């Protein structure tokens, strides 16, 4: 049995809350914007997305899978680093892939499930962040040679995604308008948090 423990990624340690989903008959955990999880356990990974990207990856041979939920950060108007948004997005995706490799996955076997990028906040965001998020992710997957097995993107409604990590199966459902405000607030909080998180990284010469 593949261990879900990794010495390197906190995200593959037991998640903060594991509950039993009676509909799917699986232990489940929720991911919030900015989070990533990879596992070989038979868990259900659950998240809700509006304009963010949710990408799920699965290796059917190693029977491991994972999910990353993110958006590209805005450029900092005072210190614009044009490449910072792409670096963050690449980091989220590469981190997910690396976590899966540590679980026994092989790059050439990975397949992607792509969701999100909804335009639920028309007029509130400059530009179209949902489209930007999806376009970036598509380009990344194409460059890395990872096929998109299934997708539901650039819609008008938020989506709740249920991804069976070991089995590589996904189910999605639309979110009614009454829940949109919570999704909006959550994504806005994440978007503001990203400005502080996108900082120079660590390094050292011995």
Partner 1 sequence: MPSARIGPISILLVDDSVCHLQTTGFALRRAGYLVREACHAQAARADLDRNGPPAVCVIDHIMAGTDGVQLIQQLRKRRDTRQVPMVLMSTAPALHIRDMAQKAGAQAWLAKPFAPEQLLAILSIVLSR
- Binding stretches for partner 1 (CB under 8 A): 7-10, 81, 83-84, 86-88, 90-91, 94-95, 97-98, 101-102, 105-107, 140, 143-145, 200-206
Sign of CA dihedral 82, 88, 90, 91: positive
Based on CB atoms, which residue is closest to partner 1, 15 or 158?
15
| DSSP-derived secondary structure letter, 3 | -
- Tell me how far apart the alpha carbons of residues 144 and 172 are, in angstroms, rounded to a whole number: 25
Based on CB atoms, which residue is closest to partner 1, 161 or 194?
194
User: How is residue 144 written in tokens?
Assistant: 């890395």
**What is the closest distance, in whole angstroms, from the C-beta atom of residue 110 to partner 1 in the complex?**
11
Based on CB atoms, which residue is closest to partner 1, 43 or 88?
88
- By the 8 A CB rule, do 110 and 97 touch? yes
User: How is residue 98 written in tokens?
Assistant: 């690396």
**What is the closest distance, in whole angstroms, from the C-beta atom of residue 167 to partner 1 in the complex?**
22
User: Residue written as tokens 């970036």?
Assistant: 136
**What is the closest distance, in whole angstroms, from the C-beta atom of residue 143 to partner 1 in the complex?**
5
**What is the closest distance, in whole angstroms, from the C-beta atom of residue 205 to partner 1 in the complex?**
4
- Tell me how far apart the alpha carbons of residues 63 and 57 are, in angstroms, rounded to a whole number: 11
**What is the closest distance, in whole angstroms, from the C-beta atom of residue 33 to partner 1 in the complex?**
18
Based on CB atoms, which residue is closest to partner 1, 8 or 19?
8
Sign of CA dihedral 57, 150, 182, 18: negative
Based on CB atoms, which residue is closest to partner 1, 39 or 95?
95
């Amino acid at each position: 049995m593949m261990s879900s423990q990794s010495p390197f990624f906190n995200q593959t340690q037991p998640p903060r809350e594991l509950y039993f989903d009676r509909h799917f008959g699986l232990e489940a955990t929720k991911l919030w914007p900015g989070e990533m999880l990879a596992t070989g356990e038979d868990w259900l990974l659950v998240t809700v997305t509006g304009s963010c990207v949710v990408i799920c990856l699965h290796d059917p041979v190693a029977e491991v899978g994972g999910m990353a939920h993110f958006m590209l950060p805005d450029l900092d108007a005072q210190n614009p680093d044009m490449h910072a948004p792409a670096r963050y997005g690449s980091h989220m995706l590469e981190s997910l892939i690396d976590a899966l490799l540590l679980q026994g996955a092989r790059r050439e076997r990975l397949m992607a499930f792509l969701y999100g990028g909804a335009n639920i906040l028309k007029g509130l965001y400059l530009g179209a962040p949902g489209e930007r998020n999806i376009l970036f992710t598509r380009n990344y997957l194409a460059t890395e040679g990872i096929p998109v097995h299934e997708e539901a993107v650039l819609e008008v409604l938020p989506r709740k995604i249920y991804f069976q990590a070991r089995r590589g199966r996904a189910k999605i459902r639309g979110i009614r308008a009454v829940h949109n405000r919570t999704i909006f607030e959550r994504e806005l909080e994440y978007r503001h948090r990203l400005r502080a998180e996108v900082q120079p990284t660590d390094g050292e010469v011995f």
